[in-house]
Amino acid sequence: MTLLVVQALNGFQLGMLLFLIAAGLTLVFGVMNFVNLAHGVQYMLGAYLGVMFARIAGGFWSGLILASLAAGAFGLVLERLIFRHLYARSELDQVLATFGVIITLNEGVRLVWGSAPLELPMPDALSHSFQLMDGLRYPVYRVALAVTGLVVAGLLALVVNGTRAGMLIRAGASNQEMVSALGVDIGRLFRMVFGVGAMLAGFAGVLAAPLVSVEPNMGDNLLILAFVVIVIGGTGSIRGAFLAALIVGLVDTLGRSMITDFAHAVLSGPASSRVGPALASMLIYLVMAAVLAVRPAGLFPLRS
């Protein structure tokens, strides 16, 4: 039972990390109708910049702030140089070009920082842990990460639902031409959304860096998960992204920890050790398929 609670907590915390990445992706996808595969490398870049700034500025916190800002700025530079020319093009062109950005940045990071993985120590203030179950201590940092995700989700919900900028974002998502016909500078709105999205991904990268290894390609796997999240949640919807990130985090973590035991109970012999892990890695995609079968546009679609 305690194990279940611990695993649920792990799942929740993975979900919050996914949400930070998926929030920017879903806004860009929903509002601009732009498929940005390069969103995952923003996460990687954030982690690398975090390591670099933490070393230069001497601390996790300054690293976190500087790296998030730098990642946002870098996102804006990419938007200006590359992505801007893709908005009017087909989705295939967008996928190809942003995929090119992934490859370039992965190798670029390797050139600058080398291919050996890097480390970012936890901030001292959060580096202790508490007894969660017999024999297992839980790092305070992980709890802080989950809480941060909740706070960001709350702030984003406030901005999107309660401010003029948020209203324009929602309007832009449902009818772009109409908004620009009403005299709103839709380009500026896009840039703002893009910058915030890139910054959030970079922010998530720095937050994840003390838990995982900072290495080239670290964003690639998360990108796939983030796409699963926005497909389940419905593109463009912050609420959907939040709920879907929770579902994916919980299903993935709980599934992995339980399905092998389940497979062992049902099957026997070597088959069970093969079926379990295979099933566990498929689980979130099965959930995605199930959601799409019932609600083809995701849980909270912006356009119906």
Partner 1 sequence: MLKQVLAAGLMSALVAATAQAQTPPILKMTVIATLSGPQASLGEQVRDGFALAVEQRGGKLGGLPVEVTVMDDELKPDVAVTKIRGLLESSHQDFVVGPVFSVVMAAIFKPVTSAGVFLISPNAGLSTFAGKACSKDLFVTSYQNDQPHSVSGEFATTQGYKRAFIIAPNYQAGRDALTGFKSRYKGEVVSEDYVPLNQMDMQSEIAKIAAAKPDVVFVFLPGGLGINFVKQYRQAGLTNIPVLSTFTVDESTLPAEGDAAIGFYSGTNWAPNMDTPANKAFVAAFEKKFNYVPATYAAQSFDTAMLIDSAVKAAGLDHDRLRTALEKADFASVRGSFKFGVNHYPIQDFYLAQVAKRPDGKLQTEIRSKVLTADVDPYAAECKMQ
Binding residues vs partner 1 (CB under 8 A): 2-3, 6-7, 10-11, 13-14, 107, 110, 114-119, 121-122, 129, 133-139, 141-142, 208, 210-218, 221-222, 253, 256-257, 260, 273, 276-278, 280-281
| Chain centroid, CA 140 distance in Å | 21
Task: Please identify which residue in the block is written with the tokens 């990071």.
Answer: 109
Cβ nearer to partner 1, comparing 44 with 179: 44
CB 217, min distance to partner 1, A: 5
CB 268, min distance to partner 1, A: 14
Cβ neighbours for 298, distance < 8 A, ≥ 6 positions apart: 230, 231, 232, 233, 234, 235, 237, 240, 244, 291, 292
Query: What's phi and psi for 205, nearest 5 deg?
Result: -60, -45
Nearest Cα to 302, choosing from 32, 20, 17? 32
CB 122, min distance to partner 1, A: 8
Cβ nearer to partner 1, comparing 109 with 189: 109
Cβ nearer to partner 1, comparing 198 with 209: 209
CB 44, min distance to partner 1, A: 11
E strand or H helix at 138? strand 136-139
Distance CA(155)–CA(149), nearest Å, equals 10
Cβ nearer to partner 1, comparing 216 with 234: 216
Contact 22, 241 (CB under 8 A): yes
CB 214, min distance to partner 1, A: 7
Cβ nearer to partner 1, comparing 211 with 297: 211
